[in-house]
Structure 1
Amino acid sequence: MEDKKFPIFHYTSLDNLPGILKRGLLPRGSLTTFIDIAIDSCEDKRDQEGLLGHVPCYVGFHCWFPGDELRTFFWNNDYQWRFQNHAFFGSLNNVIRRKCSAREYEKVIILMLKDSVIQHLAKMKKIRLFNDIAIRPSRKEIHYKNETDFARGLVSNIHEKQNGQLETNCELDILYDRNFPLKVPDTFECIIVDNDKIRRKVKEMLKDTELEVIVVPLPRGNFV
């Protein structure tokens, strides 16, 4: 499990991408106008947890088989690819899809952060790590002393099935630091979108940057 890197993701609306390109990825507490696709009442609960200055992310993808294009990208860049975060899937499929119209839902884009960025932030203790969605009452915070300790805490909350598939519910929250902004393209590996129409729009916004834009359909399973 530890021979490859763990992919880390943040989702947002396509309509927020121009602001992200201009100012970097910012936490809710630093924003005044943006398209909010978060879980209802999320802001109050995150405020209670001291997380409004953090950017929420998921460890592992929303499905265990992400399709050939993203699987190949994971493989070529030494990331675990058969790795599902059930909380990520549930947030998209059961919460965001209920909240958004079909047109708005297809505009959900997923930003994948570079492993080197995550390691640097862990070293600086700019990350809070949880074994589940941070606003759930039953979640536990995983405390760590350094980046090695951080990795151990993460691994201890990732489960490997007999077929080699990895699964977790982990959320990590990145504390905003103006001295280390989460800028595009420097801190991101790729952007994942729902379909080719959205990919064309994202590529047009990215202009001359070499950041890859990969299509993986968003989950549209039965509500649970």
Structure 2
Amino acid sequence: MKLKYILVLVFICFYNYSFSCECRPLNKETMVTEGLKNSDLVFFGEVIKFNSTKGTYTFKIIELFKGKINSKIINGKAYTSCSISPNTKGLWIVFTNFKENNTIDISDCSPSIGLDSNQGLLLPRIPEKYFSIKDQEMRSLKINIFALEYEKQNLIYWIRQLEQLRAYKTSQIIALKKEETELKIKTYRSYIVISLIANIILFLILIFVLLKRKKQ
């Protein structure tokens, strides 16, 4: 009897957790752009430490795409029911925002994704139709095929995101260099104009002095 109540309680807790976080569906074509716009920090990193009980974790940043940090090591924490808390060591692409004490919070609504297929973007539910298959071996086979398909899609999303983020980083570097070049050109032009004005003034002073001496 106690077991029955425990199962009911677990079901209620799981149900509340599952439906307490409502996210707008991510558009595969624009999710990186939206993620960059809505995030303080975007990086490719590795989970080097985690505590599943406390919902805390630590990343080593491998490649930074957006934001400013003082260290390659950054700590995170699950703050809400919408938070993702990595529970295995592995590689991630993270879109996040800073919280208290410079910790980060990875939202389940962001495009953040772990290379390990059981975490991050688009975690699927096994279709109900598979559970109605009476043959146990066939049912297991269908579910395994479904899982492998998800792993393939997860890897495709991962590679696509990394390519788009690196393209964004390259475009930012090019834009920054262009801005620096334009500033140098503007400064050089200003220098030329100032030099020209100074030379004109000196030339006029020289003419004035010569005319004054000629009158004497």
The TM-score range, normalised by the shorter chain, is under 0.3
TM-score (norm 2): 0.25
| More helix, by proportion | 2
TM score, norm. by length of structure 1: 0.24
Name the larger-Rg structure: 2
